[in-house]
Chains A and B, each alone.
Chain A
C-alpha cells in the first residue's frame, strides 16, 4: 500500500515545482522518490529538529515542504521547532508522522506516539489529518498540500476498508452511516475496526452511525454535532491518549456550544499498549472488530440501564 501514497505524492510534486519532499531518514513510505524527484527530495539524516527548521526555511521561500519522520520523534523531539518555526510563522509545512499509535506495532512505547494529535492540536492554525486508510490519505493529500496552513498528517497506509467517494475538503468529515442508537466517531487507523464493529452491532439489531472524522483540526463541527444529536450514544474510537485527541476535541466542542451528549471514549487512558504485530496488538488492546463491538455494546447496555 506504500505505492499508493508514493504515487499520490509524486503526482503532486511533479505538478508543482514548489513541492519539496523531505525526510529524516524515514524512507519506507517514499523510497522511490529520491531518484524521481532529484534535488527536490531532501534527506537530513536522523535529525528531526533540522528537518523541521529546514522545512520552515524552505516554506519561508515559497516552497511547500512535505516532511517525513517517525511520528514520535517528529512531534515530540522536534515539537518546539514545529511550534516556534512553523506554528508561530504559520508556514505551509506539511508534517507526515509515520508509525503513529497502533501502527507502531511491535516497536514499543518509544515509538507509540499516543500524544501526537494532542500536541499538534495545541498549535494554533495547525491542520490535523488522520486518514482512515491509504485511499482516504491519497484522497485528502491534494487539499492538505494546497492549503496555506501548516498540517500534520498521521500517516496511515492500511488498505482501504471501504470506498471513499465523497470529495475531500479541509475540515469536512465523511458521514459513512446514519444511526439513531449509537454514533461511532473515528479518526485514523482504527477505522477498519470501527466499521466492522458497527456492522456487527447493526447485525445485532442496533441502529449504528459512523463518521470518518478525517480531520481533528479543523473539526467538522456542525455535521458532527448534528449526527450526535441524532443518536442516543456517541462512542469515540481513536488510537491516542484520551487527553488531547479526538475525544478531547469532542468534549471541547460540546462545552463551546453549550450542548450535552452521552459520550463514551474508547481511547488509551492510562498506559501505553502492549507492543506486537498489528493483529495481535489490536487484539491485546481490545481493539479488534469483535472486541470493539463488544465494548461498544457494553457501553450501550450501561447507557440503557441508567436512562
Chain B
C-alpha cells in the first residue's frame, strides 16, 4: 500500500473515531466494540468495497452482523459523505431512526441486525442471488468474535462452503471480548483459524488496525468456489487508551465534559479522567 493511501485512511479513521465518540453521551452507545471495528469499516468503505453510494445497483454489500457496532458504520458513512452528519446529532431521538442497532431505513444500512448470528445466513442468501444472476458484486459479513458462540453462524459457514460461495467474505472483528468477558476465558475460540478452515473457508489473518495488512488479507486468492474468512485482530476501544480492552467499557455513556477529555486523549492528549459509572447493557 502506498504511503499516501495509508495516511489518507488513517486520517479518515481518526475522524470516524471522533464521530463515534460523540455518540457515547446522552444515552451512549456500544463504544468499545464500535472502536475496534472502525479501521475495518474505513478499509471496506474507503478502499475495498465497490461502493459509489448507498443504493447503487452495482455496489458491493457489507452486512454488519455484530449490529451493536453501528456507530462505526454511521460515522464512516458520514465521514465519506454518504450520510448527513446532522442525523447523528439526533442519535436516540425517537423519530430519528438512529438507535443502538442498525436500522435499514438509514441509507447505507443493507439490513437490520442486533440479534447476533443472523447475517451470515442472510448474507449467503444475497450471495446466492448474485451467483444466480452471474453478478460480480461481492458480499462481506462483519462478525464479532463473541458472536461466534451462536450456532447459527457455523450453520451458515457450512452452507456457504456447500454452495461454493466464493463471493462471500466473513470478516471477524477479533477483539477478544464477549460482552463482559474475554472470549478465551469464557468459551475459547482458539484455534480459530483451524476451525474456520475445517468449515471450508479460505482463511487470512490480519492486524485489524493496519490497512496494509487488511489489504493483503482481502487480496488473497483461494481456489474458485471457496468462501473466505478474514480474522482481523483488533483491540476493543482502539484509539482511546482509557477505553481500550477494559471489560467494563462495553457500553459507555459519558458526560459531555468527559467526551471532551476523551477527544483530547484520542488526538494524543493525556489519559482522560472519567467519573461516569460504566453501564452494562446486554
Contacts and interface: CB of A to CB of B under 8 A. Distances in A.
B104 interface: yes
Closest 8 CB pairs of A and B: A57-B125, A53-B121, A54-B125, A61-B129, A57-B126, A57-B122, A47-B155, A58-B125
Question: Which of A54, A81, A84, A85 counts the most chain B CB atoms within 10 A?
Answer: A54
B128 A53 contact: no
Interface stretch (A37-45, A189-197, A281-289): A37-45
Nearest to A93: B125
A269 interface: no
Contacts of B199: none
A40 B130 CA distance: 12
B152 interface: yes
A58 B155 contact: no
B162 A45 contact: yes
Contacts of B41: none
A45 B127 CA distance: 18
Given A53-B120, A54-B124, A85-B122, 16 more contacts: A47-B155, A50-B121, A50-B152, A53-B152, A54-B122, A54-B125, A56-B121, A56-B122, A56-B125, A57-B123, A57-B124, A57-B125, A57-B128, A60-B110, A61-B125, A85-B118
A85 B125 CA distance: 12
Contact of B128 (A42, A47, A52): A42
Interface in B138-174: 151-152, 155-156, 158-159, 162-163
A57 B132 contact: no
A81 B125 CA distance: 13
Nearest to B117: A49
A45 B158 CA distance: 9
B126 A84 contact: no
A202 to B, nearest CB: 50
Contacts of A85: 111, 118, 121-122
Nearest to A54: B125
A63 interface: yes
Contacts of B129: 57-58, 61-63
Interface string B30-61: 00000000000000000000000000000000
25 contacts: A20-B128, A20-B132, A39-B131, A42-B163, A44-B155, A45-B158, A49-B117, A50-B124, A50-B152, A50-B156, A50-B159, A53-B119, A53-B120, A53-B122, A54-B124, A57-B129, A58-B126, A60-B125, A60-B126, A61-B126, A61-B130, A81-B118, A81-B152, A84-B112, A85-B111
Given A49-B152, A50-B156, A57 B121 contact: yes
Question: Which of B104, B111, B127 counts the most chain A CB atoms within 10 A?
Answer: B111
B115 interface: yes
How many residues of A sit at the interface, in one of the four size bands?
Answer: 20 to 34
Contacts of A52: 121
Nearest to A52: B121
A89 interface: yes
A52 B129 CA distance: 15
A42 B122 CA distance: 14
Interface string A51-72: 0111111111111010000000
A123 to B, nearest CB: 14
B112 A81 contact: no
Contacts of B117: 49
A26 to B, nearest CB: 15
A54 B123 CA distance: 7
A55 B158 contact: no
Contacts, number: 89
Contacts of A88: 112
A7 interface: no
B251 to A, nearest CB: 21
Interface in A25-46: 39-40, 42, 44-45
A49 B110 CA distance: 20
Contact of B104 (A39, A44, A50, A89): A89
Given A60-B126, A84-B115, A54 B152 contact: no
A16 interface: no
Given A45-B158, A49-B155, A80 B115 contact: yes
Nearest to B131: A39
A199 B189 CA distance: 64
Nearest to B113: A84
A298 B127 CA distance: 58
Nearest to B163: A42
Contacts of A84: 112, 115, 118
Contacts of B122: 53-54, 56-57, 60, 85
Interface string B80-123: 00000000000000000000000010000011100101111111
A60 B121 CA distance: 12
Question: Which of B121, B124, B155, B159 counts the most chain A CB atoms within 10 A?
Answer: B121
A111 B110 CA distance: 35
A192 to B, nearest CB: 37
B272 to A, nearest CB: 37
Contacts of B104: 89
Contact of B155 (A50, A56, A62): A50
A63 B120 CA distance: 18
B132 A47 contact: no
Question: Which of A39, A42, A52, A60 counts the most chain B CB atoms within 10 A?
Answer: A60
A58 B128 contact: yes
